[in-house]
Structure 1
Amino acid sequence: MDAAELQKPPPGELFLDHVSHFVADLDTAAGLLEQLGFKVSPVSIQEVAGSRVGANRCVMLEQGYIEILRPTLQPDPGLRLACFGTPDAEAEHRRLADHGFEPQPIVELQRKLDSRTVRFKVVLPGPGKMPEGRVQYVQHLTPEHIWRSEYLSHSNGVTQLRALFVVADEPPQVAARWGRFTGLLPQPDGDMAALEPQRGHVRIGTAEALGKLLGDVPPAPALAGYALGCRHPEEFAARCSRAGLAVENATVGISVALPPQLGGIWLLRGESV
């Protein structure tokens, strides 16, 4: 099965699909990622019903992807979006409504990439229902147009989006809300709470707890960072250090603090660790 087909969850399953950094300048952000060995897709304009709503460039991975997004409105730069992949946007919309998330109407987005039209459906909760960021669902309709071999050839050995880290003042209560949002049962994980989709995972903790793992994290509520699966995490960490990024050994990987134009923290891990 090719990479594109692997991005579509089977019925009844849920994937951590992508994360997004809101940026003021796509090319500046892409230049940093390219310096670190990523292949970044060309600029693509997002449209809803023919109206422009933003522009993005993406780092496509064998599992999931990283997006850099310039919204039409002036962005608040940083790690601002986390998205779960679903095989059925309409079903997620109904479930979110049943659980009090007051979802907005399903958004049918499209964007041109090269000569191809990428199409997908997005489900967003009502304003303020997920205060940690823009937390949403996506159903990919044309994954073969974006998960292409020419966009997967990263020289740094990064292959997977493995985890999302969420800052909360009251992790049990926030994890319960995220559990209702995802349809997953939160479980304790040391001094954090855990949600386990079929691909990727979510860890919710206080700034103090996450700080022990990642370093300096933003105050709650926020998306603190995410884990990347790497073929050679030590080599990629050394590349990040040479580029001037702050790199620290963590308890279960290597943390990399991203510059303000991107925001957030990476936790580098092996592919099967």
Structure 2
Amino acid sequence: MLSLDHLVINTRFDTDAAEAQFRALGFTVTPRGFHTLGSINHAIVFEDHYLELIGLPADGSTVRAEIAASPIGTDGLVYRSDDAQRTYVRLRADGFDVTAPQHFSRPVEGLGDARFVTVRFTPGQFSGGRVYFCQHLTPEFVFRASWRSHANGAYALAALHLIDVEREAYARLGEPAPGFDLAFHARAAFDARFGTLAAHVALRAPRYGAITLRTPQWREMGDRATQAQLPFVVEAARSVVALPNFDTLLEFVP
């Protein structure tokens, strides 16, 4: 079973706006991080996983190639590794083409450097978005109690919705651990599930299109979306909020 580490929304050069929208929706957003790889980020942290808003400095002072080359919107699925070197060896033995473990870090004010090791797949093996593994060398700098409490009650990422994506490579990689699912849709089925809000997800394919989150306050997300001036629907068992500038839908369920 594969444990989710985080999902990634690529904000490109508009990270300020993404941060503001997630704060307006009632999320606690971590202070801005500056990776040694050149990217910037914020995280929305849950118990043992998180949603990452990643981007590049608006002044163009640094460029991280895979962020610049990836489309804006949800584009990253990251599983947890307890030992990056062992993960690298296992994936190679399973026939995947992966790059050697990559070390990087970002400062966390008052604590030190949050340090990570990632194992990445060379392009072309997974359709839809970037898939990789991440080992946390300093998890206490990421999963802080003060960052895990959200005004909107959100407590977990429940699903990633994939559109017109080939399942085979994902299935060969393994099944996600209980609590998080990969939901595969043909574009027509995605549009039927999300109705008029699906129009805010561009027609490019294959791609990742939506993220499902759990919160007991799912009914109130319409009020928060109204205040944030974002399109939304509230239905019998869920709310859905569109992020038009970030080509993504957020589905909130109990």
**TM-score category (smaller protein):** 0.7 to 0.9
Any gaps of 5 or more consecutive residues in structure 1?
1-12, 185-195
User: What one-letter code is carried by the residue in structure 2 that aligns with 1:265?
Assistant: L
In the TM superposition, residue 63 of structure 1 has moved relative to its aligned partner by: 4.4
In the alignment, which residue of structure 2 is the partner of 1:209?
189
Residues 252 and 267 (structure 1), Cα distance of their counterparts in 2 relative to 1, 3 Å cut: same
Deviations along 1:112-136, whole A, 9 cap, x unmatched? 1113211121111111111311111
Judge conservation of contact 2:222–2:234 (CA < 8 Å) in 1.
no
Number of the residue aligned with 1:179: 171
Structure 2 distance, partners of 1:133, 1:239, is 29
Residue 197 of structure 1: which of 174, 177, 185 is its match? 177
Please, which of 18, 31, 52 is the counterpart of residue 29 of structure 1?
A: 18
Structure with higher strand content: 1
Give deviations 1:103-152, integer Å, cap 9, x for gaps.
01111121111132111211111111113111111122211111112212
* Residue 14 (1) aligns with residue 11 (2): no
TM-score normalised by L of structure 2: 0.85
Q: Give % identity.
A: 26
Q: Secondary structure at the match of 1:235?
A: helix
Aligned: 1:142 with 2:146: no
Three-state SS of the structure 2 residue aligned to 1:255 is strand
Shift of 1:90: 2.5
Offset from partner CA, 1:225-247 (integer Å, 9 cap, x none): 11101121001233113322221
1:123 equivalent in structure 2: 119
Matched ranges for 1:1-273 at <5 A: 13-23=1-11, 24-47=13-36, 52-71=37-56, 72-73=63-64, 74=68, 76-115=71-110, 116-168=112-164, 174-181=166-173, 183-184=174-175, 196-215=176-195, 216=198, 217=201, 218-249=203-234, 253-260=238-245, 262-270=246-254
Q: Distance between the aligned counterparts of 1:98 and 1:198, measured in 2?
A: 25
Query: What value does the CA root-mean-square deviation take over the aligned residues?
Result: 2.0
Match of 2:60 in 1: none
Q: How many residues align?
A: 237
Q: Deviations over 1:238-264 (max 9, x none)?
A: 31133222212468622221121x321
* Aligned CA distance change for structure 1 residues 249 and 36 (closer, same or farther; 3 Å): closer
Q: TM-score, normalised by structure 1?
A: 0.79
Q: Provide the secondary structure at the position in 2 that maps to 1:79.
A: strand
Which runs of no fewer than 5 residues in structure 2 stay unpaired? 57-62
In structure 2, do the counterparts of structure 1 residues 226 and 93 end up closer, same or farther at CA, with 3 Å as the change threshold? same
Contact 1:37 1:155 in 2 (8 A): yes
Amino acid at match of 2:77: A
